[in-house]
């Protein structure tokens, strides 16, 4: 059953409709990316109203709803709502601003506008379990990122700046077939690696420093995410110990992932491993992981405060880290597919400490 038909089945009755307005949800329900357009979902039929930039492509690719060329969207939506007697219309509250909500409320006066989290929660619940085709696209994006990383290792040298490293990695991902970058690539060396979300600077790579690379590629709307920490030259014994602590926290976190276990439990396993390596858990300030799909951060979450329960078919990251302010930091991140009895690691790149 298509995603649109699945959503239509969730509508409470024949007078209940759903209005899809976000780019990411249009991609999920229609199968292609666009920066404009709305989807009206009803029990009887669904419609994509889209402008001339995307109309021809939508007519070719969209099969589960009628494609309508956008003219006067307000009038077109009202006509459709009257035709199907839609008196309650749920909107994506997670993506609409208050101003946008008020504008829709004013334009679509025929129906009661439902600004609760109902629709956003239903869509999130659908998206959290990946289909075989979604997994395929995420794996493809991951292989692109890994191929780019391997090319980077051949070119990276001491003395290059963080900005140069990030730019080169970005170029290789696009050259290997990425449609886009998952997010702004992180390349943080030395003292900068102690900041989990550092922005690349003009700082050159220097002997005896860690270099943390956090990056991902997009393939047909689906993201990948991985982190590897390297060392320039040779690490000190203290640096090796920190790396090993994070490495084993990653491994233990992976072992804990399976269906029907809480995200908070998985987080606690990795955190306990860091604690066992001399209390490094006190340097681990963020959650262990998050879902990945059409967005780089989506449900579920793996953290101390998580209420998520893992289920087979979810894709999550496992990314423990330890960041010692003023010195350096280490993070190792894999992306995995949750299964009934464990997980399948979708990240193939070695986690052995790479020396540059």
Q: Among residues of the chain, what percentage have pLDDT more than 70?
A: 100
**How many domains, the chain?**
2
Q: In the 8-state DSSP scheme, what is residue 283? A: G
Judge if 93 and 158 occupy the same domain: no
Judge if 115 and 138 occupy the same domain: no
pLDDT tens string 7-47: 999 999 999 999 999 999 999 999 888 889 999 999 999 99
Report yes or no on 356 lying in a domain: no
Q: Give one DSSP letter per residue of 184-205, joined into a string.
A: PPEEEEGGGGGSTTPPP-SPBP
Q: In the 8-state DSSP scheme, what is residue 6? A: H
Residue 20 belongs to domain with CATH number: 3.40.350.10
Q: Is the pLDDT of residue 109 over 90?
A: no
Judge if 123 and 140 occupy the same domain: no
Phi/psi at 104 (5° precision): -65, -40
Q: Which of 52, 44, 53, 6 lies closest to 25, judged by CA?
A: 6
Instruction: Write out the residue range of the structural domain in which residue 29 sits.
Output: 3-127
Judge if 257 and 315 occupy the same domain: yes
pLDDT tens string 110-143: 899 999 999 999 999 999 999 999 999 999 999 9
Round to whole Å and give the CA distance between 173 and 23: 23
Q: Among residues of the chain, what percentage have pLDDT more than 90?
A: 94
Judge if 30 and 79 occupy the same domain: yes
Across the chain, what does the average pLDDT equal?
Answer: 96
Record the pTM. 0.94
Judge if 149 and 79 occupy the same domain: no
Report yes or no on 156 lying in a domain: yes
Which residues touch 95 (CB under 8 Å, ≥6 apart)? 21, 22, 24, 25, 120
Q: Which of 71, 92, 127 is the last residue of a domain?
A: 127
Judge whether 167 and 305 are in contact, CB under 8 Å.
Answer: no
Report yes or no on 353 lying in a domain: no
């Amino acid at each position: 059953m298509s995603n649109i038909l699945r959503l239509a089945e969730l509508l409470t009755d024949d007078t209940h409709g759903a209005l899809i307005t976000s780019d990411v949800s249009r991609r999920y329900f229609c199968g292609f990316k666009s920066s404009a357009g709305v989807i009206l979902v009803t029990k009887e039929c669904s419609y994509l109203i889209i402008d001339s930039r995307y109309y021809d492509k939508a007519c070719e690719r969209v099969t589960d709803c009628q494609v309508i060329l956008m003219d006067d969207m307000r009038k077109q939506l009202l006509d459709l709502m009257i035709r199907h007697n839609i008196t309650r219309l749920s909107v994506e509250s997670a993506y609409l601003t208050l101003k946008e909500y008020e504008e829709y409320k004013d334009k679509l006066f025929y129906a009661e506008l439902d600004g609760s989290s109902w629709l956003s929660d239903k869509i999130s619940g659908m998206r959290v379990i990946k289909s075989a085709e979604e997994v395929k696209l995420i794996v493809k994006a991951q292989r692109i990122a890994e191929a780019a990383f391997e090319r980077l290792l051949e070119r990276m040298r001491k003395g290059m700046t963080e900005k140069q490293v990030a730019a080169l990695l970005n170029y290789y991902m696009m050259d290997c077939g990425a449609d886009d970058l998952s997010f702004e690539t992180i390349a943080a060396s030395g003292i900068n690696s102690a900041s989990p979300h550092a922005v690349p600077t003009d700082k050159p790579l220097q002997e005896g420093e860690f270099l943390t690379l956090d990056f991902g590629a997009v393939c047909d709307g689906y993201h990948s995410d991985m982190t590897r920490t390297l060392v320039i030259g040779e690490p000190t014994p203290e640096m090796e110990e920190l790396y090993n602590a994070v490495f084993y926290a990653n491994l233990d976190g992976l072992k804990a992932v399976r269906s029907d276990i809480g995200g908070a439990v998985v987080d606690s396993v990795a955190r306990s491993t860091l604690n066992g390596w001399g209390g490094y858990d006190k340097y681990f300030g963020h959650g262990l992981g998050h879902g990945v799909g059409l967005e780089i951060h989506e449900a579920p979450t793996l953290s101390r405060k998580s209420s998520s329960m893992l289920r087979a078919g979810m894709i999550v990251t496992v990314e423990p880290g330890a960041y010692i302010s003023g010195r350096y930091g280490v993070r190792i991140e894999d992306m995995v597919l949750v299964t009934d009895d464990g997980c399948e690691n979708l990240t193939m790149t070695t986690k052995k400490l790479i020396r540059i």
